Chain A
Amino acid sequence: MSTDDESFHPLGREWEGELEEMLDDTEYDSDLGMKMAQDAMRVTKGELSEAEFHEMYHDDVMEEFGVDDRPTEAAYEQAQEAQKGTATRMLEAFEGDGEQSRRETMKKMGAGAAAVGLGAWATVDDGPETNLAAADGDDGGSNEGTQLGMVIDLERCDGCLSCVAACQEENQTDQGVNWMYVLDYREPGQDEPGASRNRLVRPCQHCTDAPCEKVCPTTARHTRDKDGLVLTDYDVCIGCRYCQVACPYGVNYFQWDEPDVSTDEIEEMHSDMDGDHMVDDRDRWVDSRAPRGVMSKCTMCPTRQDGHMGDEYRGTTACEEACPPEAINFGDMNDPDSKPQRYLRNVVQTRAERMVDGESPNRENVQESYDFLEGDIELLDMEYLEDGDHDEIEAALFIQGELDADDLSLDDEELREIVIDILGGADALEDLDEEELGTLADILLGDADEGDADADDREAANDAIDAVITNAEDGVQNVVDRYESREITPAEVEESLLILDGEEEPWVSEDGITDESTAQQVLEAYAGGEASTFKLLEEVGTNPNVTYVGNEPGPEAEQVDGPVAYSDIGQTDNRKDVLDESTVGDFGVSL
């Protein structure tokens, strides 16, 4: 499975043939994205510092995107103080629609505040009421009030397990307690695993008619009035495990022994925020890993929803925040304007919006290329160059006499190094050693006598310098050519999005995308067609609040190895491996 597939056309093979030719011409490095995602994970695991991560990819990022919008190191330190502490924000800078989520957060804060007030009124020692409401159960899913849930785009998930690691870090769960679980699967008769996108992301479904809650003999498992989260009151649970028996999804994890991280440590970790990441707004212990002898499962982060980590974390979960391709969309499933509902309403558009964010050449880049061709802008002033490096162009222009020494931004030493680099890359000069290249560079820069080098070499050197400029100019021309040939570049995608959004004439030129039906086609080619949606085991009648976009696993689907193993991210897949160590008399056999 090639990573290029995942970034550019998630519908995979069907599209691949058609699009491959077009996409071959683009230069956007999706490998880089994957590498960064993996290293971001290393950051979350503490194997890599944020500063190192920042530094490691700075050059690549500059080269790829022409700009590095990631928070600076100083900003990181601030972020660390704010206890965010993961590398996810760095990725957000590229992939997140920051503007929108901020707006949404503001909106949520209003609604959230109201819910808190109402919730507090309705939940004074409210176990009974909550449960009676659930016991009614025959309204087929409540459409009133807030019901938090998720829309998970399985076609965007790349199986990196960032969400699994982020959940573990957020909740300090033991090895093998995979509240969030991601699995690849194979359908019977499918020879090659991964031939099509068979992947499932499995958090708790926070069902409206939760069977776990129904069977609980204590009301420890309950639905929170204010936002519909299904939670476990660790102070009430007796550890009978009937919830785990009744849940058809297998999302529950019992705390069989003393947890690895103590409550004191958890409290210490969150000393600078409002709560302790354990007790929610109602003073019930429902968050972070369970204490010994009681049941736990995915909580969808009540600490965040209650604003204990700050208002910017409301309406987010750790897994959602950590997901590099933004496959997880968390929010109020009853609100048509919520993140998940908006995603669901227009999967292709939203997916394209996110895929294109930060990618080049975008509309501005194309406009700039037109401007250059029309002589309105100098090569050196261009933000985006498909083929060519700013410093090399500066050096070449200087040698060609197009640039005054006063206008140089490079010092002499840098200039010489860059010229040597240019010459070293020329085929005709590949036999020369470093010193000879140096001499040629000095000649070009007027610092040595022409006689110091062979005439052929001098000619080749001049050609190499000219080539820098020609290539850059060709690159600019190429951007325009590709745009006018309607190859699907980010610019076309942006135009299509804007056209479908109702904006008038968003195109750079008439040769771009100008009508709605083409726009729709472009988006589908870029982000995959309208995919089917499903809820997991809906026939069981649980009314789950997680909606998936993508393929539904069949009844005979069987898990296979994914692209990233749980051990790769320092986690355990099969918890029994851990628990067997404490078993008294592990006979090594099974019934």
Chain B
Amino acid sequence: MSTKSPTEADILRPVNNVSKKFFMLFGASALALGIFLVAWMYQLANGMAVTGLSDWGSGGGVTWGLYIGAFIWWVGIAHGGIILSAAVRLLGMDRYMPVARLAELLTIAGLSAAGFYILVHMGRPDRMVTSVLGHYHITVNNSPLVWDVTVITAYFVLTATYLALTLRYDITRLRDQLPDHFEPVYKVMTLGYTKDEDEVVERMVWWLALAIIIMAPLLLHGGVIPWLFAVLPGMPAWFSAVQGPQFLTIALTSAISGVIIVAYAFRRAYDWDHIMTDDVFRGLLLWLGFFCLLFLWLQLQQNVVGLFAAPVDTFVAQEATLSHWAYLLSMGLVFGTLAYIFAQTIRPSLFTKARAIGAALLVLTATLLEKLLFVVEGFMHPTFEIYANTPGEYFPSVIEWLSLLGTIGMVVLVFLVVSKVVPVVELHAVEHLRGDHGHGHDDADDAATESEVKA
């Protein structure tokens, strides 16, 4: 493993250096986002007819498609990110401390992408404030969509607070080595800082983490997001109590995959082998395997219940899902990843970072496919499937595919920009690594205990 000892200079490297590669990646990401923005303008000018969507029923299509599928996907990545970070703090999983802030940033970036998708998806985004906020006190009582907006906003605020509080500690201590042109930003962020607050902040952060850990399964990706679909009795592909846990497992697999990819990118760009050690990746991969298993287990539940002796509408929907190539591909990818992860646990030599990245990418592809199909299948096989034009047809248009490119570009941009302003690895992590070097075995025990707690 690492031979060098982590230093403050290590985590400051991204802030104080720019390379050609940075500008190239920045340019490519900005271009991706820019292309989609142009496409979105075209959509705003010509209406939603530029998408591949139509009305379900006699209209022969699906009314929600890739925009909503990708929205859930990003929200999943985001929610999983903050859960991971909160678990690190709350449960003392110190081994993952170096990637905690990246996970938090992934939450901020993912939620931004998801929020953007809400705007892109709407027929009249200009009315968002007047129509939604104006009637909020009424609609919050009964519209799952309003619950969604509420909880996502709450999570954005929680995560931002969390991030802002922990950054105060770092910025104050590292201020001298941070670039002066961001002085106003640092000033605002450390407003009124005194050393006495460290202890208070630590407690606050702990409570925030507790709130996040409790709210995630109850309200967030195990709650309001699946409820958007699971509470609708007319759509048997969705109407199921298993959607909550299922969404949560998908969120966690996606988020861990996301963190693996982001962490690997930073490690490679800034030579952080000694900070984000192979050990971290092995651990993340194991967690990924664990959630992949839960993911497949819950899919199994749906298939057995939906196919054994289900009501006609449920049976039709489940059978259609099970025989769909996208579903089989998605399940195959997750299963393959799971098989690899378990194999490399038994035989550690099978682990390489490239394979870890590969596993993460495959899982992200699988969850995106699953989400897209999940949304579409609901409209394809409703209870009232009497229409000749149902199941309808849907394939995302070029503009919809570009949205995926655009939001990925957007998320990358968030990382590129933030990493130039503040350290993306906590000072605490460096201090911890210096203090507690080589406690790999303890960490493994910790992880085992955590999985028991979770289970």
Contacts and interface: CB of A to CB of B under 8 A. Distances in A.
Interface of A: 127-128, 131-132, 134-135, 176, 178, 181, 183, 185, 200, 211, 214-220, 236-242, 244-258, 292-295, 536-537, 540-541, 553, 555-560, 573-577, 579, 582-587, 589-591
A478 B61 CA distance: 59
Given A242-B143, A248-B232, 10 more contacts: A128-B138, A236-B127, A240-B145, A244-B56, A250-B387, A292-B123, A293-B47, A555-B312, A559-B387, A586-B52
B59 interface: yes
Interface centre among B57, B58, B132, B141 (most CB of A within 10 A): B58
Contacts of B42: 584
Q: Which 3 A-B pairs have the closest CB atoms?
A: A239-B123, A250-B57, A248-B234
A134 B397 CA distance: 37
21 contacts: A131-B135, A134-B142, A217-B139, A217-B149, A218-B127, A218-B134, A219-B138, A236-B127, A246-B232, A246-B234, A250-B382, A253-B59, A294-B124, A537-B383, A559-B389, A576-B54, A583-B52, A584-B399, A587-B395, A591-B372, A591-B373
A255 B373 contact: no
Contacts of A292: 47, 123
A557 B312 CA distance: 11
Contact of B50 (A252, A556, A558, A582): A582
A556 B312 contact: yes
A242 B145 contact: yes
A49 B373 CA distance: 51
Contacts of B13: none
Contacts of B46: 257, 582
Contact of A240 (B121, B312, B326, B384): B121
- Interface class of chain B by DSSP: loop
Contacts of B390: 250
Contacts of A183: 58, 386-388
Nearest to B396: A591
A241 B71 CA distance: 15
B160 to A, nearest CB: 23
Contacts of A134: 142
Nearest to A242: B145
A215 B143 contact: yes
B444 to A, nearest CB: 42
A558 B55 contact: no
A583 B383 contact: no
Contact of A185 (B64, B131, B386): B386
B233 interface: yes
A541 B60 CA distance: 25
B142 A215 contact: yes
Contact of A583 (B49, B57, B59, B401): B49
B59 A576 contact: yes
Given A215-B143, A256-B49, A584-B50, A575 B60 contact: yes
A219 B130 CA distance: 12
A428 to B, nearest CB: 57
Interface in B156-208: none
A293 B389 contact: no
Nearest to A129: B138
Interface centre among A219, A557, A589 (most CB of B within 10 A): A219
A238 B123 contact: yes
B234 A244 contact: no
A558 B316 CA distance: 13
Contact of A217 (B58, B132, B378): B132
Nearest to B44: A293
A378 B403 CA distance: 86
Interface centre among A132, A216, A217 (most CB of B within 10 A): A217
A541 to B, nearest CB: 7
Contacts of B401: 585
B223 interface: no
B234 A178 contact: no
A257 B47 CA distance: 5
B143 A214 contact: yes
Contacts of A293: 47-48, 122-124
A217 B132 CA distance: 6
A70 B59 CA distance: 38
B392 interface: yes
Nearest to A292: B47
- Interface class of chain A by DSSP: loop
B303 interface: no
Interface string B363-390: 0000000001100101100111111111
Contact of A131 (B50, B122, B139, B392): B139
A573 B47 CA distance: 21
B313 interface: yes
B8 interface: no
B232 A254 contact: no
Interface in B85-137: 121-125, 127-128, 131-132, 134-135, 137
A236 to B, nearest CB: 5
A555 B392 contact: no
B57 A251 contact: yes
A349 B128 CA distance: 53
A12 B57 CA distance: 29
Nearest to B372: A591
A200 B386 contact: yes
Contacts of A246: 232, 234
Nearest to A184: B388
B63 interface: yes
A589 B378 CA distance: 19
A584 B228 CA distance: 28
A181 B131 contact: no
Given A216-B143, A217-B139, A579-B49, A244 B383 contact: no
A558 B388 contact: yes
A183 B260 CA distance: 53
Contacts of A200: 386
Interface in B265-307: none
Nearest to A130: B138
B145 A214 contact: no
Interface in B47-85: 47-61, 63-64
Interface string B337-377: 00000000000000000000000000000000000110010
B25 interface: no
Given A253-B59, A256-B49, A579-B49, A584 B234 contact: no
B217 interface: no
Contacts of B143: 214-217, 242
B313 A555 contact: yes
Interface string B198-225: 0000000000000000000000000000
Given A255-B123, A587-B395, A575 B384 contact: no
Contacts of A553: 386
Interface centre among A293, A537, A577 (most CB of B within 10 A): A293
B28 interface: no
Given A540-B234, A555-B313, A573-B58, A582 B386 contact: no
Nearest to B129: A238
A183 B52 CA distance: 25
Contacts of B421: none
A451 B60 CA distance: 78
Given A244-B63, A540-B234, A583-B52, A238 B312 contact: no
B335 interface: no
Given A248-B233, A576-B392, A590-B394, A583 B138 contact: no
